[in-house]
Every structure is written in structure tokens, then in C-alpha cells.
Structure 1
Amino acid sequence: MALNSVKETGVLIVGAGPTGLALACDLARRGVDALVVEQSEALFPGSRGKGLQPRTMEVLDDLGVVDAVLAAGGKAPVGMVWQDGARQGEHEMFERPGPTETAPYGEPWLLPQWRTQQILHTRLTELGGGVAFGTALTGIAQDPDGVTAELSTGTVRAAYAVAADGGRSTVRRTLGIAMTGETVDPAPMLVADVRIPALDRLNWHVFPGDGSGHLAVCPLPGTDDFQVVGQFADGEPDISPAGVRELIAARTHLTADDVTDVRWSSDFRPRAAMADRFRDGRVFLAGDAAHVHSPAGGQGLNTSVQDAYNLGWKLGQVLRHGAPESLLDSYEQEREPVAAEMLGLSTRIHRGEQRRGAATMQLGLGYRGGPLSVGGAGALEAGDRAPDGPLPDGRRLFDLFRGPHFTLLAVGTDAELPPLDGELVHVHGIDAYEPYGKGVFLVRPDGYVGWAGEDATGLTGYLERVSRC
């Protein structure tokens, strides 16, 4: 995508990782003009964030890519512990509750990050969007009416900008926003994508090590690759192909020659840190630009995609549906506590203080008590995730929610409803359903109950806060 010397857009998204691409897809389906710029010449090539949690799968369902995700990925294999070249026995890496009527995605789904980004990029193209690769941000300034960004290819003027450019965010540093946090583990780590035909793909292979650090080798579904993660109790990782081969040979029963290809490698030190604020005027921080996690528990990419999902509909309401700009204040108010909670969870899992389980699946997260959560009825309170469920015609509640609109559910009640904008709010009546009980529920575009009541009293006032209604 070529840029003119000056370009105008609704939203400038800096970074074409999972966060930026998910946000761009959400904005595109809302009819919001957005420009994604990426400093690299191509999408990220590695597997780093390989686990998609059930709540993120629901987001991807709504964005129209879950079928591609399911086709390309797979369930995580059972762990196998090795010692002195011998198998010591299998163990589950995390709990697998399985799908339920209210939550159709019952366990994490493995998909290398490069494939997730590829799928989102394809979806963005289908929606008429794209990415300006090889385009670096060199400066950013804002005024009461918009943002002016200096790029390596020209100048862009946007109503808003979103920093989705990772843990070393250029946007965040340019704005002078600090990151506050801690080192989770002083030992550096290596992550690499390799091919090892001599190793079976039936297990997630774990080599505890002898004090030099552990090593894990996980088959990546839909590919011939394994992701290797190694800890270094002493010294620094050598991420060269020869160094990766030597590491595997030193800590496993495999030889260096068994590693036929090293396709990508990187190193990092596990940290838990969060930006001091997620918004600076007309610029928002999302994903790793706002919070960086230990990879333990698979929370980083998932929390990041959900940042985008929270912000996308709000930008859409302001730019396309006349919502007051104050609606955008709720992004930081809602996402900052969630990010802090997930940072703590990742750190506890990394340190062995908590096992991967229901909390890591993120289905229990919500916005109760938040600025956009009003009321309660039946079994739900405003701010709760809206559960899935079957409908008499063979569809599911998630089918009703899918799309950029709000959904008003009258559950087990014939309460009188006010006239509403049919494009903005889709109205459905269903029989009483235990996960909801009875009442009137306004489900936000991101799948959370925004407003709830025994009848529609107060609904119109709530909608005025989030739209032109």
C-alpha cells in the first residue's frame, strides 16, 4: 500500500501484530477508515504467542475468522517429561473442561502466532483494508482535533491513533509514557521454531534439565515445526542456528543433526510491566505497547486481542454513530484492571504458584462496576460476559451477537421496549434461559452485558451514552 505525501484517515494503527490486525478488522467491518502501518517488510515470522484462549476464540468467531483458525490449528498435546533420554510419563499441561452450552470453546487452541496474523491479515484484506509494510513512525503530535504522524513515507492526519507496536513501542516512548513493572525471572530465555523429524509430534516434550535450565519442545499444529523454549540459568542464549542446535543436543536425547532446520529464533527476559496510562489524548496504547507478560499461561496475545476488541467498537461508535467522545475514556477504565489481573496471573504461573486453569481461559473476565456497566437482572449483572446458548430455530445466541451491532435480548419477558435504531441495535425475544434468567439485556458489540433490567426503564438513557440514540 503506497502512501501519498499527506493522507487522511479515521484511525492510524501503528503495528501489524495480532492487536493491530484485530483492531483493523473490527474497524473495517464498522465502516471506519483505518490505516495500519508496519515498520517491518512483512508479517512477524515466528510462533511466539501460540496459544489462543477460549475467550479469544469467541472474539475471532465474531470477527469471522474462527473457521480458519480451527482449520489451521489444533489442541495442545499432552505433556511428556523426559529424564536421561527416557520418558518419565505423561501429564496434562492445563485443565481441559471442554465445550459447554454457554461456552463453545472449551480449551486453549494452539496456532503459531505467524499463522494467526496471516489469518487476520487475510480477513482485513477481504474487508477492504490492508497494511503499509516497510513504513516506520518517525514522529507523532496531536491537537484537539486530531493526530499528525510523520512516517518514513509521508505524513498522515488521523482523528485517533493506536499504538499496537509491541513492548518496545515507538509511540509509547515518543509520548513519554513510562512502563512500571518487575522482572519475573532473571534467567533469560530462548524461543525458536525448528524442524526435528526424529521427534514424535504426539506430545509436548518437557526436559527439566540439571540446573542449567529447562527446555520444552511443542509441536505446532498445521505445520512441520516445533516451538522450542529454553531457560538459561547461567549465561546468555545463542540464538544462531548453530546455537539452537547445540542447546537441543545438550539438553535432550537428540543430536544437533536431528534438527534439520531452524526457521526463526529470538531471546527475551520474562517481565511483567504495564504502561502508566493507556491513553494520551487522542492516542491509545493496546497490546504489548500497554502491558508485557511472562509467556507462562498464554495471556499476552490474548489480553492484547481483547484490548483491540474493547477499543474497536468504541472508536466505531464515536466516528460513525455520533457517540460522545467521553465513551473513549472507558477503554482505559475497563482494560487497565484486566491487564493488571492478567499480569499477576502470568507471573504466578511462571513462578509455579498457580496452575493453568479456568482463570487462564479468560471466560470469567468482565467489567462489573465499570463505567459502562449499569443494572442487573436474572442471573447476570451488567459487565458480565454474555453466555452462548441454543435457539429453537437451530441458531445460537452467538449467531445473534455476531457483527458490529448491539443486541437487545428480552429473555422470558414481554416487557414493552422503546423504538430503537434497527441498524445499531438488533432486538430478539427468547424464552427464559437459566444462564440469563429473565429480564432485558443489552449486549455490547464486544459480547458483554452493558445494561440489564427487569424491564426497559433506563435503556434509552444508557444508549445515549454510547450512540446517537
Structure 2
Amino acid sequence: MDVLIVGAGPTGLTLALDLARRGVRCRIVDKATEFPRGSRGRGMQPRTQEVMDDFGLIDAVHAHGSAYPPLRAYQGEQVVWEGTMTERVEPSADVPYPNPWMIPQWRTTQLLRDRLAEFGVKVELGIELTGFAQDDDGVTVTLNGSEQVRVAYLIGADGGRGPTRKLLGVPFEGVTSDEIRVLVADVRVDGLDREHWHLWRPVGDPEALIGLCPMGGTDYFQLTIPNPRRELSTVEDVAGYVAEQTGRSDLRLHGLTWLTEWRPNTRMATRFRVGRVFLAGDAAHVHPPAGGQGLNTGVQDAYNLGWKLAAVLAGAPADLLDSYEQERLPVAAHVLGLSDRLLAEAMSNGGDPSIIQRGKDERQLGITYRGGPLAVDERAEPGAVHAGDRAPNAPVGDDRSMFDVFRGPQFTVLGFGTDTGTSVSDPEAFRIYDVTPGTFVLVRPDGYIGVISADHAAVDRYLAAVGVSVAARGGR
């Protein structure tokens, strides 16, 4: 077995799917005995939607979710304010999915599992990592205390409390706040429309907001109660508390499927790799929910790591894997800072960390690896788009877009005004990429730009350095 992934949440599933479509032998296990149904991590940012496009899942994601609804605040039954969480942005040639999309995490993982199964890989439940020992050639992993598995690489995508990071002995630095608690539940609600996100200030607490948000693609609402004043453990408890605190005895809450209590937790591992063991997603960094960054950052971790693991397993230099931590650790640190700022904003404006005004930073389209080990820009005066940036979409010709060309596990060579690789002649593409005729752009399998140069030899040198053969290069 090439790779064992511990944890079958969005991060682990993204990595398993990316590896499976490259023909890498992988196994994905989870200690849970059944698949979760909660709506934790309900926001899919634009950059993550682009990953789903690459996987062929974007239509399903959009079919099973919804745009974020407008907000409506009440005193009792009286509407006292209406607004939006974010201004809707129209799709453009370079950003086809510009707005966050609401889809419950359980649905996202279901879609990823179904796609993974098409490659013959299924999640194995009820299997827990209990130990491992690594050497220069691989990792011997112990599962459920007795089963031993030999793999080339072990990936911990098992969350902030999972065993992989603890067994590695990697510190998890940060803070957990005991001053803020938010009860979150998935319930059915009779008596409310599904076109708005409904908000009330609890009786005697002008600084908090109770929210009921319709979950697109389902018949459920997500309920949020900041700092509940007593223990709520059943649907009857929850319904009674909501009626008492909102003055809305006309609402009927029923069909509770998930109930949890959240506390702010902001932590990051000091290392994302130790030898042949890697940490990704919540195992490497945990975020407050403000801004919808946690799930999305984990998916991007996996998308960054997948092609590199596959390349090294196919013969690329092993030090290519060093770039995972070099690229992703600074991003995680930045996103944690953003999440903290958004949490502070949310808690000062109503107490629900889900309800914040969202902007460009949260959409993750501006995350860049400029100046990193895999970014080569040989122009004397780079334009607006640099090596290391996300490769934007743009028209190619023949009714194709860049994203159509990128889709799949390959590198792609774009030849602007040349016949090499994918020939690009559309003036809009030149404008978006801000390049001159005769420029070559190499796009990595994860949709980031590796090289921008007027010399095709720079592309050849880059591909040779990461162990990619001519046959593996894109340019259809």
C-alpha cells in the first residue's frame, strides 16, 4: 500500500480522491462507526468550488446546496431589520464561482465518498490508528491495537483531537476559549420561510443572536444559540428554550438530527511533516467557524499534497514533499489570523460566529505561493499575475476555458501566442494573465502557476526537477 489516510472528513476524502484518480494505491480509515450527519463546515468558498470542478463534482455541489440567504432580524414576530451577509458578485471570465456556497458538510463528504468509490476506494469505518513506527523506507502502522499495515506514507487527517499528531509528538500551539459557547443543532422548523436566515436577540441579552438558517439541499435549519443559559440536550429542551428566548411560541422545532456545543479553538501544529508522516486539515490547524475557513483550508491542504505524493511515488525527488509544509504552513497561519479577526467581529456584533460580513479574503482566491520553492517567474517586470498565484480561468478558444484544460491530474503548459502546449490566442486571456505574446505559463495540477517565462527551457527544467515526464504534461 502506498498511502494510508487516517480520517474520512473533507480533507482525508479530498486527498484520497486526488490520489486514487492518479492510480496511487491508498486506503482511508476512520474510527467512527457511521458517517456523520451534522452540518458543521457548511460554507464552501469559491476556491474550494474550483477544486470540486476539477473533480467533476461542481454540478452536484450546486445541486445539493444553495446560495446564502438574506438575513432577517425580529423582535418576536416583527421584522426589525433585513440585510445580507455578503454582496453577491457576478461570475466573470476569470472567476466562475465568485460567491460562497452553502452545503452541509455531511453532504460534501457524501459526494466525495461517492466519487471516490468510482475509483474502487471505499472508506473503512470503525478503524482507529493506535500506533506507528517509521524508517527510511516506509511506515509500519498499527490499527485497532493489532492489525499492522506497511505503507510508504501516513497522512493524519483525523482532526484536532486525533491520534496522529499526538503520536508524532508535534506541539499544537494556540488557545481554547472557555468564555464563548455556541450550541449548534440541525432541526426541522414549521412556521418559518426558507428564503431567509432568521435572527432574534434573546430576552435580556442584547449582545447575542439566536439564528435559524435554512440549509440548502435539505429540509433542515441550522440552529445557533450563543452562550445558552442552561443545558439543552433534547429537541424538547431546544424548542422550549427558543420559544422562551425569542417570544415565538408559534414555531415548531422537531426532527433533531445533530446537536453539539462549540467553543473557540485556534491552534496550529508547529510542523506539518515529520519524515513520512504528514498532517493535514484540522489535524494541522483548527479554526473558529467565523468566515467558513476550516473545511476549506483542509481541502486546500489535501489538494496541495496529493500531486506531490503521487509524483514522488512515481520517481520524483523526495525533497518535493518538503514544499508541502513550506507552502501550506504560512497559509494556515494567515488563515488562523483571519479567522480570529472574524470571530472577534462576529462576537461583537451579535454573538453568532456564522453571521459576519464576508469579503475577498475569506474566498481564498488570493492565496499565493509567490516566492516559494515551486514558483519561478523569470520576467524582469512581472504583471498582475505571478508565478505562485492561483491560475485564473480564461477563454482558450473552441468554446473551451482554462478550467476545461486544467481539469484532471496533469500539469498544463499554456503557450500565449505560441503553438507549444495549449495555444492561447484569446485577447481576454492575455488581459487576465497580464502577459505578452511568446510567454509560457506552466500550471501545476493543483491549479497554481509554477512557471512564467519567455523561455520554454524554464518549463522543461521545472518539470524535470519535479520528476514529470513529457507524457505527463498537459496541453490538450
TM-score normalised over the length of structure 1: 0.92
The superposition leaves residues 185-227 of structure 1 with CA deviations (integer Å, 9 ceiling, x where unpaired) of: 7211111100002111110112233427322111001111001
Say whether 1:447 aligns with 2:452: no
Query: Compared with structure 1, are the counterparts of its residues 145 and 236 closer, same or farther at alpha carbon in structure 2 (3 Å cutoff)?
Result: farther
Say whether 1:155 aligns with 2:160: no
Q: CA deviation at 1:138?
A: 1.2
Contact 2:19 2:307 in 1 (8 A): yes
Tell me the distance in 2 between the aligned counterparts of 1:114 and 1:289. Answer: 19
Query: Where does 1:399-438 land on structure 2 (aligned, <5 Å)?
Result: 399-413=404-418, 427-431=421-425, 432=427, 433-436=430-433, 437-438=435-436
Between 1:262-271 and 1:47-56, the stretch displaced more is 262-271
Q: CA deviation at 1:244?
A: 2.3
Q: Secondary structure of 2:63's match? A: helix
Structure 2 residue aligned with 1:361, among 360, 363, 387? 363
Aligned twin of 2:294: 300
Aligned twin of 1:108: 100
Query: Where does 1:309-324 land on structure 2 (aligned, <5 Å)?
Result: 309-320=303-314, 322-324=315-317
Contact 1:188 1:267 in 2 (8 A): yes
The superposition leaves residues 399-445 of structure 1 with CA deviations (integer Å, 9 ceiling, x where unpaired) of: 0000000000011246xx6xxxxxxxxx2111152111231000000
Structure 1 residue aligned with 2:223, among 228, 235, 239? 228
Q: Which amino acid aligns with 1:11?
A: V
Q: Which amino acid aligns with 1:193?
A: D
Aligned CA RMSD, in angstroms, stands at: 1.8
Tell me the distance in 2 between the aligned counterparts of 1:171 and 1:274. Answer: 14
Q: Secondary structure of 1:206's match? A: strand
Tell me the distance in 1 between the aligned counterparts of 2:342 and 2:132. Answer: 37
Query: Compared with structure 1, are the counterparts of its residues 185 and 457 closer, same or farther at alpha carbon in structure 2 (3 Å cutoff)?
Result: farther
Q: Percent identity?
A: 50
How many residue pairs match? The answer is: 448
Tell me the distance in 2 between the aligned counterparts of 1:34 and 1:196. Answer: 42
Between 1:245-254 and 1:91-100, the stretch displaced more is 245-254
Aligned twin of 1:393: 398
Q: Secondary structure of 1:259's match? A: strand
The superposition leaves residues 319-338 of structure 1 with CA deviations (integer Å, 9 ceiling, x where unpaired) of: 12x11110000001101111
Contact 1:11 1:34 in 2 (8 A): yes
Say whether 1:130 aligns with 2:127: no
Say whether 1:55 aligns with 2:52: no
The superposition leaves residues 73-107 of structure 1 with CA deviations (integer Å, 9 ceiling, x where unpaired) of: 11110011122432112111123222111010020
Query: Compared with structure 1, are the counterparts of its residues 87 and 256 closer, same or farther at alpha carbon in structure 2 (3 Å cutoff)?
Result: closer
Tell me the distance in 1 between the aligned counterparts of 2:233 and 2:462. Answer: 54
Contact 1:166 1:287 in 2 (8 A): yes
Q: Which amino acid aligns with 2:42?
A: K
Contact 2:191 2:251 in 1 (8 A): no
Q: CA deviation at 1:265?
A: 0.7
Tell me the distance in 2 between the aligned counterparts of 1:248 and 1:235. Answer: 12
Say whether 1:374 aligns with 2:385: no
Q: Secondary structure of 1:238's match? A: coil
Say whether 1:187 aligns with 2:180: yes
Q: Which amino acid aligns with 1:250?
A: E
Tell me the distance in 1 between the aligned counterparts of 2:175 and 2:229. Answer: 21
The superposition leaves residues 143-200 of structure 1 with CA deviations (integer Å, 9 ceiling, x where unpaired) of: 1111111112611111001111111121111111111112467211111100002111
Contact 1:323 1:467 in 2 (8 A): yes
Say whether 1:22 aligns with 2:14: yes
Aligned twin of 1:69: 61
Q: Which runs of 5+ in 2 are unaligned?
A: 347-355, 470-476
Tell me the distance in 1 between the aligned counterparts of 2:150 and 2:174. Answer: 33
Contact 2:46 2:98 in 1 (8 A): yes
Structure 2 residue aligned with 1:270, among 264, 272, 286? 264
Structure 2 residue aligned with 1:83, among 57, 68, 75? 75
Q: Which amino acid aligns with 1:435?
A: I
Q: CA deviation at 1:247?
A: 3.1
Q: Which amino acid aligns with 2:266?
A: A
Tell me the distance in 1 between the aligned counterparts of 2:231 and 2:176. Answer: 17
TM-score normalised over the length of structure 2: 0.90
Q: CA deviation at 1:243?
A: 3.0
Say whether 1:340 aligns with 2:340: no
